[in-house]
Amino acid sequence: MKTKLTIILLLFLSTAAFAQKIKLKKGIIYVNKKEVLSYEKKSYGNEFVIYELGTKNELIIDIFNPNGNYQKIFFPNQKKSMEMRPKYWNKSLIKWFIEQGILDVNGNFNKDKVDIFIEKYDEKITERTIIRN
C-alpha cells in the first residue's frame, strides 16, 4: 500500500512541476502571473509570433496551414523549422515549449534545445507530399 501511495505522490509532484499557469492578454504572455514574453497573431489568426518581451525580436513563429492541415514552427534566429500535424496552439503551445526546454518560466529562449526538439517532433509533412507527387 505504501508503494502505491509513493508512486501516486511522485506522479503528482512531477505533473505539478510542469503545471505552469499561462495567460495571454493584450499581446503579453504571462507565466505564473509574471510578464515574460510578448506575442502577436497575424494572417487572420493563422500565425502566432512569440517575441522577447518589449522587443520585436522574433523567437518562434508558428504558422497554421489550413489547406494542408499542418503547422510549421519556425525558429528565425536559428534559421530552422519543422512541420507537424496540429497539436498545440496559443497557451498550450507555450506550455509545450516550456516542458520541452525551448522556453523557461522566465521567458528565456534555449537555442541549444532547438535541434533536439526538431529531431523529436518534425513530421516533414511537405517533404513527404513532394515525394508522393
Angle in degrees, CA 10, 15, 19, rounded to 5? 145
pLDDT number for residue 10: 47
pLDDT number for residue 43: 84
Angstrom distances, CA of residue 120 to CA of 14, 43, 114? 21, 28, 10
Check the CA dihedral 105-109-102-123 and report its sign.
Answer: positive
Low-confidence stretches of the chain (pLDDT < 70) are 1-19, 128-133
pLDDT number for residue 9: 45
pLDDT number for residue 67: 84
What b/e readout covers 90-121, taking b as 16+ CB neighbours within 10 angstroms?
eeebbbbbbeeebbeeebebeeeebeebbeee
Going by C-alpha positions, the residue among 41, 19, 47 that lies closest to residue 32 is 19
Could you tell me if 63 and 86 are in contact, meaning their C-beta atoms sit under 8 angstroms apart? no
pLDDT number for residue 16: 44
pLDDT number for residue 3: 55
The Cα 22–Cα 92 span in angstroms is 8
pLDDT number for residue 68: 83
